[in-house]
Amino acid sequence: MIDFETASAAYALPAAGCAGGSSWIEAAVRPYADEVRTDANGNVFARVGGGDRRLAFLAHADARGFVASFVEQSGAVRFLAPPWDAGETPAGTRVRFENGIKGVIAADGTELAVRPSGGARAHSDYYIDIGSESAEETLRSIRPGDRAVRDFLPHTGDFGAVCAFDAGLVGAKTLLCALKTIRTGGVAPKNDLLFVFGRSGNEPFDGTAVYEGLNVSAAIAVGAYHTAPGSGGTDAGVRIGAGPVATAKADLYFSPSVYGAVLEAASRLNVALQHSVQAHIPAADAMMESDEGVVAAALGIPVRGGRIYRESDVGGAARIVAELGGTRWM
């Protein structure tokens, strides 16, 4: 199996509408899929099985990254809208460009979280310092439009938790594991299964356009369920390592039938599930709001601090996805 965190580090989030950068995910899914295609926006579609009904499993497969916008005379690299959350202090964060050049996020005037004159810093206060002394020196290796991601080495800690550069990718990792289970574990798909690895920074993925015309009967979005304070979907009752999260969103678009299928699959496999009504996984919303009105639900992987998760939660969710792929539940 491909080294997921390391390989996906090269898949930096581009400026809106940019394509490309999806070759690593294509290589990862191809051994386990009957058909693989990539659309103009870089979304990857892997199909397995057959039948008169198509079920979709959705996740995003790109890291939050940086796109160089221009180089100052000092050699500093400015970048487009930042990939960090509100309230986060990025100064000192290490980054790596796709060509291997490394740098550090720095701030104008001071490394503090506030401006010298007072008030919170804006993203325009920050730049990437690669150690050069001039624009001429920087431009030998970095050009506007070049992409970078946080330079964070994944590792497994003493307590079994994985510390990844962007644990928001656990949804895509889960789908990869499920595909491998279906292909190598003797699972015979009872439906036409479509695994969608999306570019979450592109409007066609977060919106509905990418799903229309796919003739999908039902969908399950798999993604990070953030447990840290200040993150979307916060729920103090959800813990990493206690199982994936079955998300019953209390809104107009929640589908009890799909949610029930997730619960039944977990019960058959004896996989522990946590439950919440607070998770927000955009792909599930987009499917339900599409022109076809596809029924959908979400399966979350508990993530803490944006980087910490447990393989047992990923494995449990992957088994549920594979089980759903091998049963006739719609």
- Domain 4-63+166-325 matching CATH 3.40.630.10: the answer reads yes
Ordered DSSP codes for 129-170: E-S-SSHHHHTTT--TT-EEEE----EE-TTSEEE-S-GGGH
Close Cβ partners of 32 (under 8 Å, ≥ 6 residues apart): 46, 48, 176, 179, 180, 182, 183, 184
Tokens for 261? 């299928």
The pLDDT mean for the chain works out to: 74
Ordered DSSP codes for 169-186: GHHHHHHHHHHHHHHHTT
What are the angstrom distances between the C-alpha of 147 and each of 18, 56, 68, 104?
Answer: 11, 30, 6, 14
Biggest alpha carbon–alpha carbon distance for the chain: 64
Task: Work out the angle at residue 268's Cα, subtended by the Cα atoms of residues 262 and 271, and round it to the nearest 5 degrees.
Answer: 70
Most confident of 1-15, 100-114, 125-139: 125-139
Other beta carbons within 10 angstroms of residue 26's beta carbon come to 15
Q: How far apart are the first and last CA of the chain?
A: 31
User: What is the dihedral sign for C-alpha 299, 25, 283, 170?
Assistant: positive
Q: Who wins on pLDDT, 38 or 52?
A: 38
Most confident of 32-46, 221-235, 249-263: 32-46
Q: For 107, phi and psi rounded to 5 degrees?
A: -125, 150
HSE-up of 129 (CA within 13 Å, CB side)? 15
Query: Is residue 144 a contact partner of residue 94, using CB atoms and an 8 Å limit?
Result: no
Residue 177 has pLDDT above 80, yes or no: yes
Q: Say what the pLDDT of residue 35 is.
A: 94
Q: Who wins on pLDDT, 113 or 22?
A: 22
Domain with CATH 3.40.630.10 in the chain: 4-63+166-325
Q: Who wins on pLDDT, 71 or 239?
A: 71
Give 145-154 pLDDT, tens digit per residue: 888 877 665 5
